[in-house]
Amino acid sequence: MKLLLIEDDAALAAEIAKALRAENFALDHAINGEDGQHLGETETYDAVVLDLGLPERDGVSVLQAWRAAGRTLPVLILTARDGWSDKVAGFKAGADDYLVKPFRVEELVIRLRALVRRASAHGANRIACGPLAYDAGLGTFERDGLPLKLTGLEWRVLSCLILRKDGIVPRGQLIERVYEGDAEVDSNSVEVIITRLRRKIVPARIESVRGIGYQLLPGEAS
């Protein structure tokens, strides 16, 4: 899964980025409102962490512009403004959640996972697909009740597929959600990850849909 962080405090942004990448999220970072708005309009993200007090363009106006343009990506506002009027302004602009500084990064991670889960139309924390189970609160996978060991890239691919297990994930969308903005993506790199996952998740399987993308299915083909 891929997140966008829009935060101008370098030290705080580095702390957040370290924590999110340690949880296997891919991450793009913008340091001002103009760049952040552009990324949110042109790239694909599972959720956004948006500061309000940004240079060049404040967070509320960035969010208002996204919503006016029909962008529905989940947004968590992260700010030092703890007044009720500021919270109201953020929610009226279209925020999905609100976290006041200072905060624990563990809470930020939990809230982001919840936003991504709800945006994928899954109400429950635990999402199953055949022998696979994904705990969206903890970000962990099991197969047949046992922990499934995954690399960071494998986790990003499999979490994207299981959150959209009732449909096909286009190849381009999967690539966007797995790799960070400055990564050079080899055309075969996602297929290599898919091949490794296929060996790890049997009897569940990942089916290639020719010319479109991939779909996670609960069992072996009949």
Could you say which of 119, 136, 157 is where a domain stops?
119
Residue 112 lies in a domain: yes
pLDDT tens digits along 84-128: 777 788 889 999 999 988 889 999 999 999 998 888 766 667 899
Q: Does 140 lie in the same domain as 203?
A: yes
Average pLDDT over residues 150-172: 92
With CA atoms as reference, report the closest residue to 20 among 140, 113, 96: 113
Q: How far apart are CA 45 and CA 35, in angstroms?
A: 15
Cis peptide before 131, with omega less than 30 degrees from 0?
A: no
Q: How far apart are CA 144 and CA 122, in angstroms?
A: 21
Give me the percent of the chain exceeding a pLDDT of 90: 68
Q: Which residue has the higher pLDDT, 87 or 10?
A: 10
**CATH classification of the domain holding 174:** 1.10.10.10
Domain that holds residue 78: 2-119
Residue 222 lies in a domain: no
pLDDT over 80 at 31, yes or no: yes
pLDDT at 81: 66
Average pLDDT over residues 8-31: 94
CB 197 within 8 A of CB 143: no
Could you say which of 91, 119, 147 is where a domain stops?
119
pLDDT over 60 at 182, yes or no: no
> Which residue type is seen at 167?
G
| Full-model pTM | 0.81
